[in-house]
Amino acid sequence: MAILINRDSRIVVQGLGRSGLLHARSCREYGSAIVAGVTPGKGGSAVDGIPVFDTVTEAIRGQGATVSMIFVPPPTAADAILEAADAGIELAVCITEGIPVRDMVQVRRALQGGTMRLIGPNCPGVITPGQCKVGIMPGVIHRPGSVGVVSRSGTLTYEAVQQLSDAGLGQSTCVGIGGDPIIGTGFIEILQMFNEDPATESVFLIGEIGGNAEEQAAVWIQRHMRKPVAAFIAGVTAPSGKQMGHAGAIISGDKGLAGDKIATLKACGVQVATSPARMAEALLNALTP
């Protein structure tokens, strides 16, 4: 088993332009079922063997798409997310960076009570090693296994996965939830899925400065998690008021400090890596009785 995606997932690419096609090919080469693309006005054509439709509804009707991978540019990406939801897509993974916060406020409100789950935006995607990849992550570093990975950072996810794979710790599913202030799915929701997934035996969590999602996750872990959890928090030396990478990675006043997040995680029983070079080591320590 796995969470979110598996070898049966059927993927439609919204925004099959240069970037969308590049990563659609990469996902297909990994073994993912890329069954359709959506480009309004190009319906009835095909790109590199991928049939193109004008709407997501047509892609579902024609190819049985269940998952959308979104590469639509920022000004219209919110509309693409809502189109996927209205069409009945089960899971949307939005890679697009730079969607206006106001647009995402409206998206989150519109998705409440609906059936579609959104991962992202501004995320690297989701991968279940050996089965399916939906996003931009390098599939070659992943190995099938039992470690669930959930992260706000794409680059640190790749570093953590490489370390885990080198240490013989394969992954069940890796989820990049995104680094924007407003995202579709947060840490706690992914932790809940990993907690219930028989294929996941431990979890590695990667957080960063800004907001309080990591502190909330730490409390949830202490109260509910039945599996070992290790973590790394980026931005220990970040100055207040300066954005570090992601739009959501910013310390406002005394809120969102890395030190506070680390202290809360430790207090809740989570093994925290002391540097990005020691992430696999932290999980191995968490697995040691």
Domain ranges in the chain are: 10-119, 137-287
pLDDT digits 0-9 by tens, 184-202 = 999 999 999 999 999 999 9
Distance CA 83, CA 2 (A): 26
How many CB atoms lie under 10 A from the CB of residue 97? 17
Say whether 142 is catalytic.
no
Q: Please state which architecture CATH assigns to domain 137-287.
A: 3-Layer(aba) Sandwich (3.40)
Is residue 224 predicted with pLDDT exceeding 90? yes
Look over the chain and give the mean of its residue pLDDT values, rounded to a whole number.
Answer: 93
pTM of the predicted model as reported, rounded to 2 decimal places: 0.94
Catalytic residue among 23, 142, 224, 246: 246
pLDDT at res. 103: 98
CATH of domain 10-119: 3.40.50.720
What are residue 72's phi and psi, to 5 degrees?
Answer: -70, 140
Burial-class residue 241 by CB neighbours within 10 Å (0-12, 13-18, 19+).
Answer: exposed
pLDDT at res. 248: 47
Task: Tell me if domain 10-119 and domain 137-287 are identical in fold.
Answer: yes
Is residue 241 predicted with pLDDT exceeding 60? no
Half-sphere exposure of 165 (CA within 13 A, CB side): 17
